[in-house]
Structures are given as C-alpha cells and as structure tokens.
Structure 1
C-alpha cells in the first residue's frame, strides 16, 4: 500500500512538472492602511511597505511569501473602566481616550489566483511580530491574522490591490483586580489596505 501511494505521488509530481513551468519573481509593495482596534476608536490612517517573492506554480496560480512593515492601531481609542466603591457599594464608569500605535513586522503566505481579465484574488495567513506599541497592559509580542483581497494588474505590470486584514489575538490585556475592570476586553486589530505592488522580471 505504501509503495502504491509513493508511486502515485511520484507520478503526480512528474505530471505537474511536465505541465507547469515554476518561476520565481521578487517584488515590492506599499500603500495606505486604515486600522482599528476592536471597534473602540476611530480608524487610524498610516502606511505599510514590504517585499515579496512570487512563486508561479501554474499560469493562473502563484504562492507569494511576504514580509511587510505595517503601522496599525486606532485613533481616539476608548478605554472603558468600571470601578467599584466598597464604601457605597456602587459602581461607576470612566472612559479615557488615546491614540494607539502598533507597529507590526508581518510574515504572510498569500495564495494568488489570476484571471485573463487582469483581476486576481488573494488570501492567506499572516504571523505578525509587534516591534513597537504604546498600548497599555499589552503582554504579548506575536499576533496571528488572515488576509484576503482583490487586485487588478495593469499592462505595465503594476498591480493595484485592496486587502482586508484581521488579527485574531487580543491586543489588549485588560485589568480585573476585584476593584475595577475593563469592559472592552476583546480588542483584535482590523485593517483595510489600499496600495500597489510591482513584480520584477516580467509583466
């Protein structure tokens, strides 16, 4: 049984190799990002810039590893804290507002499907390393996320792309010490990206 599986795998690889010319093209990307943090603030405009390698596996499908520096966060981010008064047995809320900055160095693996019309679809996972932040009570430096988007390739080879990026891990480590706690405990980062990319070595 194992020999049959191995034989089938070898035949599959041989068939794939004979019908597809795998190529590698480096490239650069950058643009504008609009990010928010758990919906507790206003969208923060900032930039992202990165490099990638496009591995063309078939005529319509490519695998694209990326490294991107992305400035995210939220403006006027509201931190809601609930305090409990032991003397009066009453609770009251206090909201404070702050511009939050979270700088990520992201490593992503993007799947790209292109069409004859010039349009393409993109999606894949991303592993984000927090290199700088002013977020209060943050106790981790790695985040996970997912990227999906669309693009259009111009005849010049320049690609216009729009993406949505959603992080999974809670960026904000809230307080709960028995006397006060935070209401906005779940604060993942979301980002809309609009930019361009260019692949060297071919249109």
Structure 2
C-alpha cells in the first residue's frame, strides 16, 4: 500500500502545478473473472469512482496518475455452482495520455489492493461425511480466497468536451493470478484474473484546457 502511494506522489511532482489538471471521475465497470477450469465466466455490472491528476509534460503528452475505488468481480458457473464474486479494490492507474484535438488515448500500468471480497449464490460449502463436495446457497465473506495484490495493464480512448468534461472507455486486463483459495478442491484452477471494461465521465479543474 505504501509503495502505491509513493508512486502516485512521485508522479504528481513531474510538472509544475500550473500545468496540471485535477479532476474527479466515475462510471460503469463491466467485469468478469477469467481462467478457472471447470467454470464458465460471465460479466457482471459494477462501478468505480476516483480522483486524478493530469500533468502535462510535453505538447499533447501528459502523465495521469489516479486513485480509484473499483468494485469488480463476475459470475462463475459450473454443473454444481452458480455464484457472483464482488471484489472491492483500491486501484492506482498511472497512464500516459496523448491528446490530439478533442480525442485522447491513454495506456499504462495499474496497481490494485484488495480491500474486501464476498461471494453469493450456490457454492461449495464443505464435504459430506463420505468425502463428497457439499453445495449450498450462501452469502459469505471471501477476502481470504483472493490475493491482496493485483497488477493490470490499461488501455483506453476518450473525448474531451467543453467546460472540462470528458467521456472515455477503457479495458483493464489483469496479468497476475489473484486466486488464493486453499480449502476447496475439484474446481479451483491455479490462475484467476480480473478483466474489466470501464465507461466513465470525468470533470477536470484548473490548469491548461
């Protein structure tokens, strides 16, 4: 967590304050969890909100660090299970942003810290006396079943409107395995990754328009 904050603050100091634009943003997450063998993944709708700092460095090029609260996860379904996972993240994207006229493109890494997680639906809840998996319809905390850190790459495009407003869309592709479940057997794959499509609106304050 401390490393994420240090990276963000270092990015904030790249250019003078007069050439920076602070802003707020929020929008829709359409997310799924990919990579688990034996279960079909499908998307679920969530949301994200955050703040950002656009530091103009050279002509149309800028660096934009952000801090976001991002709710993501998805649905996983097999012959015996059908459940939703909700993962609450603090995410820090650090993006290079190129603006040409009203259009901008952005790309870079994103670091995420899992704050909490829960699961609801038909899940494996244990084993029967003869050692067979037992299933039940439950809603339960699931933070311990996911790794705390998540590293992703981000790419997106957007449109700058008047009065500091902008609209954009992004793909956030998780690169590392976030699955940390150790108490179940039969359906757990060694890899589980976040995949999130984001649509957002942003409002910038100050700096160069």
Please say if 1:119 is aligned against 2:103. Answer: yes
Q: What is residue 95 of structure 1 aligned with on the other side? A: 80
Contact map agreement 1:22 1:58 (CA 8 A) in 2: no
1:149/1:139 Cα in 2 relative to 1: closer, same or farther (>3 Å)? closer
Q: What is residue 70 of structure 2 aligned with on the other side? A: 70
State how far apart, in whole Å, the 2-side matches of 1:176 and 1:157 are: 50
Q: What is residue 4 of structure 1 aligned with on the other side? A: none
* Gap runs ≥5 in structure 2: 1-14, 120-141
Structure label with greater radius of gyration = 1
1:176: Cα distance to partner? 8.6
State how far apart, in whole Å, the 1-side matches of 2:25 and 2:168 are: 10
Please say if 1:128 is aligned against 2:112. Answer: yes
1:150: Cα distance to partner? 0.2
1:38/1:62 Cα in 2 relative to 1: closer, same or farther (>3 Å)? same
- Given candidates 198, 203, 207, the residue that maps to 1:198 is 203
State how far apart, in whole Å, the 2-side matches of 1:199 and 1:21 are: 14
State how far apart, in whole Å, the 1-side matches of 2:113 and 2:161 are: 32
Q: What is residue 86 of structure 1 aligned with on the other side? A: none
State how far apart, in whole Å, the 1-side matches of 2:70 and 2:90 are: 6
Q: What is residue 170 of structure 2 aligned with on the other side? A: 163
Please say if 1:52 is aligned against 2:52. Answer: yes
Q: What is residue 106 of structure 1 aligned with on the other side? A: 91
State how far apart, in whole Å, the 2-side matches of 1:139 and 1:184 are: 13
Contact map agreement 1:31 1:47 (CA 8 A) in 2: yes
1:107: Cα distance to partner? 1.1
Contact map agreement 1:49 1:68 (CA 8 A) in 2: yes
SS in 2 for 1:170: coil
State how far apart, in whole Å, the 2-side matches of 1:120 and 1:166 are: 20
* Gap runs ≥5 in structure 1: 1-16, 81-93
* CA deviation string 1:101-147 (max 9, x = no partner): 0011001211100002x111100101100001126562521111111
Aligned length: 167
SS in 1 for 2:197: strand
State how far apart, in whole Å, the 1-side matches of 2:58 and 2:19 are: 9
Shifted more, 105-114 versus 133-142: the winner is: 133-142
SS in 1 for 2:59: coil
